[in-house]
Amino acid sequence: MFLQKSVLNVFFLVFFAFFCAPIKIAFSHPHAWIDLKSAPIFNDAGEMTGLKQYWLFDDFYSAFVIEDIEKSDDGLYDQKALDELARMNLQNLQEYDYFTVIKSGEKSVKLGIVKKFKTYMEGPRLALEFDLPLKNPIDPKSQNVDYQVYDPGYYIEILHFKSDDAVTLSEGGNCVYSLIPPAPPKEMSLLAAGLDRNQTAEDGFGSFFAETVALTCE
C-alpha cells in the first residue's frame, strides 16, 4: 500500500535527479542521510519565533550534487553556485514546510518562509544552515512545544548529531528539552526494509522514524 508517488520522490526526481547518484544500500529505505542540529529561536519576551537548523548531507549525495560545480583558483567550490543550489532547494522544500513539524500542545504551528540561509562545504560534505520562522510567535510557557524534522516518505533519514550541541537552547527561552528517539513499529521497519529505490512510501510514513524534540519552558 505504501507505493504511491510521494512528494519527496517527486522533489528528488525533478530537482536533484537523485536516482543517478551512488547510494549506500542497493535496497530499502532510506537512500540519503542528513545529520541535523537545531536551535529554537526566542524573542525578548521568551516567545518562540522560529527554528534554526543545520543540515549536513551524506558524502555520496554531496559528491553527486557538487559534481558539476567548478572550483575557483583557490581550490574552493564556487560560492555563487552553492548559494543558488541552496536557494532552489529551499524553494522546493517550502511547499513541504521544510520537512519540519512544530506543535504547541496538540496544535500544529504554521511556518513562514526561509529567507536567511547559508551553505558551504564542510570537508567532503555539503552543509546548509537556515532560519525557519514561525508565522506567529508562540508562548512555550503556556503549552509545551515539540518539533520533528523528517522526510514524509522516508527517502531521507534525518537525525540529530550524537553530540552535546545537537540541540541548543538560548537563555531567552528558559527551557529544557528532551530528545526522544524514534520507535517505529516492527511492521513499519520491515516495510521500509522492503522498499527499493524505485518505490516510494506513502506520505506520513517517515513520521514513524522521526525524532521528537520536546521543550518545557518556564
pLDDT confidence tier of residue 153, bands split at 50, 70 and 90? confident
* Domain annotation covers residue 2: no
pLDDT at 203 (0 to 100): 64
Residue 1 lies in a domain: no
Q: Is residue 195 part of a domain?
A: yes
Number of domains in the chain: 1
Residue range(s) defining the domain that contains residue 207? 7-217
For residue 108, is it within any domain?
yes
| E-strand stretches of 58-124 | 100-104, 107-108, 116-122
Residue 61 has pLDDT above 50, yes or no: yes
Residue at 180 is within a domain: yes
pLDDT on residue 140: 95
pLDDT for 155 equals 85
Closest CA to 156 of 33, 42, 72, 58: 33
Cis peptide, bond prior to residue 30, ω within 30 of zero:
yes
User: Which of 6-20, 36-50, 78-92, 161-175 has the weakest average pLDDT?
Assistant: 6-20
- Give the number of C-alpha atoms closer than 13 A to the C-alpha of residue 201, restricted to the C-beta side: 26
Going by C-alpha positions, the residue among 109, 210, 74, 67 that lies closest to residue 150 is 210
Residue 90 has pLDDT above 90, yes or no: yes
* pTM greater than the 0.95 cutoff: no
CATH number for the domain that contains residue 114: 2.70.170
